[in-house]
Chain A
């Protein structure tokens, strides 16, 4: 018994029942047990081996795809990591239409299909060629293959071109080789087969030419080839066909490899602590947070409008703009500007004195646009919406204008610049207007000088049509003090504005898109888009200043005659004489048309020019 117990103790912890059985049975038991264990171990080891083999296979496959052997590749003590041959450009998708629709135009389409195929082979060969870390022999052979493929491609291109000419298509069909969206999962073997087919069908065995650097034609260069050239078996005219594929594929590769990281919706602000011993206050606004801009400024506009008794179509517009421009820094600036503009009419009687202020006012804007008369910017853009109807398209200046006209409570008071311009440019449209109300300043020449858009006639026309008055008005209102010029000449205008309002409202939303669509290049030129939040500022500026002036200014008669004599610009800067006795309509005290003497004009023009 003792012996048995000893055995059971020594025997690897397996508890054996030391029964009345003999020693031999015990031994047998142990033996069978160990055998079972060994078998189990064996099977486990086999399984492990299988798993390792599988892992190896997977690793190699991965390495073939990625080009790097993964670190988990199981290496036996003396084993070397396997050589990985990466498959480059092995998988591709052929242009289906050119393959599938062979029937219709047999000769041509078959050649086209061949060409599409050859295109792929060519690209693949090119990529193989560009692979790094190759031995010399491999590199040379690949280079040769690449050259072969290139030659074949050229031949095919020529053939296709000739066939197309025969078929009456003088220019290569541009969309024919538009394959290459995604490379499917076809493996290397497929393409190899295809390639062989191609090779055999081509029966072209060119002597390998010397390895040369110029065998890597940059795809960009190819793509720059003029889309067409005269006939002839030369290589050039065929290029348009060939360029379509390589760059695209390269690009798609790039994008696949480095997908853009979407910016996080919430921007991280630096880590901060906040003590909870103080009551919660909203002061903690991180500068980048989007909500900051909207709140402070909007109410003020609403207030302005409420003061003026205006329906709130502008705020929505402003809000729209605002949401578009989420740059927080704009807000304080705007505040500042507004304040300045408010102060101006009172403090500076002459609009030429406030030069520094003016400069300051313009400063930020000029930075943005390099185009100082930013207001005309607006109108310009708006004009370009291309709406022939007068005001419906130009929303910003319009809205401003209209609300100014609203602001003047009696109907007879109107900001007048707008009608003037219209009169001048389109007298027929305002037949009811007296001729003497046409100011000289609206002469086309001046206009051209003033604006920078001579280049595009359509634009200038639109500008004249709809916006010049606005532009000027806004311009003066903004960069100079505030001009306001409620020189409304006829009631008809007022009515007109009233009518225009709804359409403006409607157009407000659409505008930015319109602008972008219609005048992309110029927008780029003048990056400072109305959506920067300026319109609101301008609007409120004008409104406020207008109100202030209306409070402080005694009514002044104004004469258009003087205007006619020499003033190209109308500045309604308080303190300047040259009142226009325009008519029965306006008793707007605040508004003054500044008579500009020629030198003044010149000065102004030069200034404008310098601001360009």
Chain B
């Protein structure tokens, strides 16, 4: 997802609601994230634009809450519960996602396949 600095970004996003799984004291989300503005974006295997410092889903555990909710590996997390995730450090993202008092996280994620689907549907119209 490329953008021009200073210009509004348009992205096709999907809303995903993950119900955290309670395991004793632990809250399990069932996925891993990578990225953040403090990490080297060029090593991100999932981003199209290698300068993208967004938070990406790097792993989704099978049968976990994230998979159930429809999250996929390679999704870029745009928002978590309304908080922007496109310009946060890795730890900030972790923090937002793993709040103990929240049993549900609502994500806005963008995904390449989503964009393509939308584009195609628009072309057809």
Contacts and interface: CB of A to CB of B under 8 A. Distances in A.
Contacts, number: 70
Interface stretch (A156-164, A272-280, A351-359): A272-280
B86 interface: no
Interface in B76-125: 89-91, 94-95, 97-100
Given A268-B39, A269-B40, A286-B38, A275 B90 contact: no
A276 B38 contact: no
A256 interface: no
Interface of A: 266-280, 282, 284, 286, 289
Contacts of A271: 34-35, 39-41, 43-44
A270 B39 contact: yes
B32 A275 contact: yes
Given A268-B40, A271-B40, A276 B100 contact: no
B37 A266 contact: yes
Given A273-B32, A273-B59, A279 B98 contact: yes
A268 B38 contact: yes
Nearest to A271: B43
Contact of A277 (B25, B29, B35, B95): B29
B100 A279 contact: yes
18 contacts: A266-B37, A266-B38, A269-B90, A271-B34, A271-B41, A272-B34, A272-B39, A272-B90, A273-B33, A274-B90, A276-B29, A276-B32, A277-B28, A279-B25, A279-B26, A282-B91, A284-B90, A284-B91
B33 A279 contact: no
Nearest to B40: A268
Could you say which of B25, B39, B95 has the most chain A C-beta atoms within 10 Å of its C-beta? B39
B39 A276 contact: no
B38 A289 contact: yes
A274 B38 CA distance: 14
Contact of B61 (A267, A277, A280, A286): A277
Contacts of B37: 266
A269 B35 CA distance: 10
A282 B100 CA distance: 14
Nearest to B25: A279
A273 B34 contact: yes
B43 A278 contact: no
Nearest to A266: B38
B16 interface: no
Interface of B: 25-35, 37-41, 43-44, 58-59, 61, 64, 89-91, 94-95, 97-100
Nearest to B96: A280
Contact of A275 (B43, B59, B95, B99): B59
B27 A279 contact: yes
B105 to A, nearest CB: 9
Contacts of B95: 280
B90 A270 contact: no
A289 B25 CA distance: 30
Contact of A270 (B33, B43, B98): B43
A271 to B, nearest CB: 4
A277 B30 contact: yes
Closest 9 CB pairs of A and B: A271-B43, A276-B29, A268-B40, A273-B34, A280-B98, A273-B58, A275-B32, A273-B32, A277-B28
A272 B36 CA distance: 9
Contacts of A277: 26, 28-30, 61, 64
Given A269-B38, A286-B38, A289-B38, A274 B27 contact: no
Contacts of B100: 279
B59 to A, nearest CB: 7
A276 B99 CA distance: 10
Contacts of A267: 38
Nearest to A280: B98
Nearest to B66: A276
Among A266, A280, A286, max chain B CB count under 10 A is at: A280
A276 B31 contact: yes
A271 B26 CA distance: 25
Contacts of A282: 91
Contacts of A268: 38-41
Given A268-B39, A270-B40, A274-B90, 20 more contacts: A266-B38, A267-B38, A269-B38, A271-B35, A271-B39, A273-B58, A274-B32, A274-B94, A276-B31, A276-B33, A276-B94, A276-B98, A278-B26, A278-B98, A279-B25, A280-B95, A282-B91, A284-B94, A286-B38, A289-B38
Nearest to A267: B38
Given A276-B98, A286-B38, A266 B31 contact: no
A270 B38 CA distance: 9
Contacts of A275: 31-32, 59
A273 to B, nearest CB: 4
Q: Which of A268, A269, A271 has the most CB atoms of chain B within a 10 A radius of its CB?
A: A271
B124 to A, nearest CB: 24
A266 B89 contact: yes
Contacts of B30: 276-277
Contacts of B31: 275-276
A269 B39 CA distance: 4
B34 A274 contact: yes
Contact of B97 (A269, A272, A276): A276
Nearest to A288: B38
B57 to A, nearest CB: 9
B86 to A, nearest CB: 14
Nearest to A274: B94
Contacts of B32: 273-276
